[in-house]
Amino acid sequence: MWKSEDARNGDAEVGAGSAGYRALADFERWSALGPLAPNFADRLAAAGSAAAAHGRLAGAERPDGPDERLDDAERRVAPADWWEALAKAYHWQRLTAQAFGCELDPAPDEWAGDRLDDACERDQALADRLALLERRLAGEALVLRYALGRL
């Protein structure tokens, strides 16, 4: 039984600095894509998404420390290559925004969705592998939402 409506909605579990920590995690994830990028255009686009996440970080309340719930969920789905890293950055950013109840500007990472769609249309094995990764991410997002009291 829930003690209050705030606890049920997760407001008691998600601190003011959580949006800042989530933005930091997004920034780190997008930044890590640069060295893995198969070409300059992808490297530049990943830098743009990292810059957008940095902008959200700069505008958010400074986190007091790491959020172990987010870090644990992040570690459980480690990408094996560029495509998995790109899919994780793209989908995980949206899933964590939902889990933390944050708004997200989709424009900076539109390129990622287009890039993933194009690659999956050309390579069915890649499409299947990324679909499995997306399911794992969705599962981790449910675990995270539960840990945050937002389920």
- Of residues 32 and 151, more confidence is placed in 32
- Inform me whether the pLDDT recorded for 5 exceeds 50: no
Looking at residue 119, what is its pLDDT? 96
What mean pLDDT is predicted for residues 58-82?
A: 89
Of 86, 83, 87, 92, the residue nearest 123 (C-alpha): 83
Instruction: Give residue 126's identity as a one-letter amino acid code.
Output: L
Q: Specify the residue for token string 């793209």.
A: 90
SS (H, E, C) 86-127: HHHHHHHHHHHHHHHCCCCCCHHHHHHHHHHHHHHHHCHHHH
Looking at residue 131, what is its pLDDT? 97
**For 89-110, what is each residue's pLDDT tens digit?**
999 988 888 888 877 767 667 8
Of 18, 47, 66, 19, the residue nearest 111 (C-alpha): 47
The helix-helix angle for 40-59 and 18-36 (nearest 10°) equals: 170
Cα–Cα distance for residue pair 41/70, rounded to 1 Å: 30
- Inform me whether the pLDDT recorded for 124 exceeds 90: yes
Q: Please report, for the chain, the start and end positions of each structural domain, with discontinuous segments joined by +.
A: 15-147
Sign of CA dihedral 15, 149, 54, 28: positive
Whether the CB-CB separation of 90 and 113 falls below 8 Å is answered with yes
Q: Spell out the residues 6+ positions from residue 119 whose beta carbon is closer than 8 angstroms to its own.
A: 83, 126, 127
**For 71-93, what is each residue's pLDDT tens digit?**
998 899 999 999 999 999 999 98
Mean pLDDT score across all residues of the chain: 85
Regarding the domain with residue range 15-147, which homologous superfamily does it belong to in the CATH classification? Ferritin, core subunit, four-helix bundle (1.20.1260.10)
